[in-house]
Every structure is written in C-alpha cells, then in structure tokens.
Amino acid sequence: LIKVVEKLVMSGAEISLDNLPDETECDPLTWRKLKKDAILRSLDASLVILKICTAPNIPKVVLLEESFELIISTTNFHLENNIYPQFDPIYKSSKKESGIRYQKPKRKQASHT
C-alpha cells in the first residue's frame, strides 16, 4: 500500500506554482488551481504514509526509509519553492541571485520599505 501511495507523492513532488505553461491554452488561474490540487494530493498522500507508519504495533518491515526521504524532500521542495516565496519577498528573488551572501542586505532593505 505504501508503494502505491508513494507514486502519488512523487506525482506532485517537483511542481512549482511559479511556472506557467508555454502554451496558454487555459486561464492562468485555472492552471494554478490544477497545480495546487496536485500539490495538495501529493502532500495528503505523504500524510497517509506517515499515518500508516506511526500506527500502533506496526511491523518494522513496513517502515521504509525511502518513503521518509521522499516525504522530507517533497516537503522541503514545497516549502522553499511554493510556500516561503508567497509570504517573504526575499525568497522570490534569492533564486535569481546566489542566495546566502545577499540575504542579510535584502532582509534590511525589505524591512525598511
């Protein structure tokens, strides 16, 4: 069961809300909603895996390290690429520049505006 649910996690593991399709066949809001649904489906599947693995009296055979690594990497990706940029302007522009060395001046600049 966990292997089947892992496929759902992987389907939304690398989806970013910033990229619009090259062909503008559909409305950008509709496209964004479809992406959000895929991300939420992936994260819900992650919760299902965690719920199964934390059930009482679960055999050690069911606990798969690959599943945990996939959940952690998926969550980390969505935090860095979808959630943090929505609430902090520094994360939006830090991908274009080399990140760490520019973050303190940007933080000061953002707090003064």
Q: What span, in angstroms and rounded, lies between the C-alpha atoms of 104 and 83?
A: 20
The number of angstroms, rounded, from the C-alpha of 47 to the middle of its chain's C-alpha atoms is 13
Report phi then psi at 81, rounded to 5: -105, -20
Q: Quick: pLDDT tens for 67-77.
A: 999 999 999 99
Q: Under a CB-based contact definition with an 8 Å cutoff, are residues 16 and 82 in contact?
A: yes
Q: Quick: pLDDT tens for 51-110.
A: 998 889 888 887 888 999 999 999 999 999 888 888 887 877 555 454 444 455 555 555
Q: Hey, what are 41's tokens?
A: 């489906």
